[in-house]
A and B are shown apart, each in its own frame.
Chain A
């Protein structure tokens, strides 16, 4: 792949995920300093700071790039701050990458961190907001995020015969994957029986199958290929980002998505009705096209398991198998560590919970360590190509493809 399409990943850093209740800036700084040290660079080397915003931590969260830059000490570095729901971290990576590929800077720092409230995510801000669909879906329907995940899960059971045990097996696999991950919040094995005896939250999804809300922080140091070679004494960088997809849905999006009350109407596009495709497959398709690879080239994937059932949807959406074949892939061990293409070797959201603006960056950090061969205790042997996939509300999604 030519240099003008790639950026080097010189550093990756994370603050462990948990429920610490401290200011989000602290987590971001720990991650940023770890990423800088990992890269062998200092804060003064950074020319561009790309922050992923958090919307639950006041004004500093809305200008996360500047918040982190001020906390590290103003150096005059250029800055951007962006919000793209669950894809915010990948959008921040995309902004840094664009600056580098355009030749506007050589060295960029990407940071995302979050401090989250307990329980269901609720709409941000007070007052009656009858023009905000995110406020209205709670007010008029009582539709929480798990409501939507559960609609997909039930649909999967009806269309493909997925069972509650299949969903539980995803949780069991991911819990096992995350056991040795020092950054994971939940590190204990669970059995199918334990999953199936946890409280039902949104039928058919149970408590242990639904992603928690977490605190955490993640950061990356990205550079141009030329800079990486100069910095590395002429050697090629160990890991590169070969594609970043942040596509929006294509009309008509016929799958119901957060925070909407309805899908698009497909009357002007009759052939799209009942295709069942929805938005997710287009997210990684764009990344594969940009990287010039296909799903058959993947050695591992980190996907957004907001629910255990949703991980099965992702197997199909990222092209690991055809529609309705995900349960077989899981049962055959293909997506477990030791299998042909392990999915969520980090333990996934199942072991992390979600720290919104940090999560898509954390997915990339995990891929970096896997490709370097340093993911101790959960290493995918010989990994050369990795992909992330993620989706959030209001038409956001992302996929990042990395290689060594």
Chain B
């Protein structure tokens, strides 16, 4: 059983399946969200807020746009050998009014995606080294067989 370790600390909950969520911040003064989390200054130029609560962001959103990576990205991306292309999506989170990037889970091609499609967050393996799986957040299309 491989050890499972986040590829980056504190950006998403360690939970899996229906409990996985991105971890961002919310300014306690003006309500502005940030991902990754802000700890010192609010990005709203009209806000002096310096206190932030850690929040889990909406687990579901709609695809703002999407693409794929047909060629292996350069390091520090750690690619499988042989390289397997993957899709990426920028996803609108309505409650937070922001768009977050992420890879799309394996096995999905651009032909399976449309702008406006609903996706949900999962935690999945980004790469493996030795006995360790390094984890990252990914977007998973919601049941493609569901009627639109």
A-side contacts of B126, CB under 8 Å? 140
A-side contacts of B9, CB under 8 Å? 130
Cβ distance B108 to chain A, nearest Cβ, rounded Å: 12
* B68 pairs with A203, CB closer than 8 A: yes
Cβ distance A368 to chain B, nearest Cβ, rounded Å: 36
At the interface, yes or no: A264 with Cβ under 8 Å from chain B?
yes
At the interface, yes or no: A41 with Cβ under 8 Å from chain B?
no
- Please tell me which one of the listed residues A142, A152, A251, A270 contacts residue B45 in the complex, with CB atoms under 8 A apart: A251
Using an 8 Å CB-CB cutoff, how does the interface string of A111-124 with B read, 1 for contact, 0 for none?
Answer: 00000000110110
Given contact pairs A151-B66, A256-B99, A268 touches B32 in the complex (Cβ within 8 A):
yes
CA distance A147 to B98 in the complex (A): 19
* B115 pairs with A151, CB closer than 8 A: no
Smallest Cβ-Cβ distance to A205: which chain B residue: B67
At the interface, yes or no: B40 with Cβ under 8 Å from chain A?
no
Given contact pairs A141-B101, A147-B69, A254-B99, A155 touches B64 in the complex (Cβ within 8 A):
yes
Question: Which of A18-26, A131-139, A340-348 is the interface stretch?
Answer: A131-139
* B71 pairs with A138, CB closer than 8 A: no
At the interface, yes or no: B20 with Cβ under 8 Å from chain A?
no
Cβ distance B72 to chain A, nearest Cβ, rounded Å: 8
Q: In the complex, given contacts A151-B90, A251-B44, A262-B100, what are 20 additional A-B residue pairs having Cβ atoms less than 8 angstroms apart? A: A135-B76, A138-B76, A141-B88, A141-B136, A143-B69, A143-B73, A151-B88, A152-B65, A158-B114, A200-B70, A203-B110, A252-B97, A256-B90, A256-B101, A262-B101, A264-B32, A265-B33, A268-B32, A268-B46, A269-B44
A-B contact pairs, 18 of them (CB 8 A): A120-B71, A123-B76, A139-B76, A140-B7, A142-B86, A142-B88, A147-B69, A147-B88, A151-B67, A154-B65, A154-B67, A155-B115, A158-B115, A201-B70, A260-B101, A263-B98, A264-B32, A267-B97
Closest 8 CB pairs between A and B? Answer: A150-B67, A122-B74, A158-B115, A142-B73, A265-B33, A266-B97, A151-B65, A139-B76
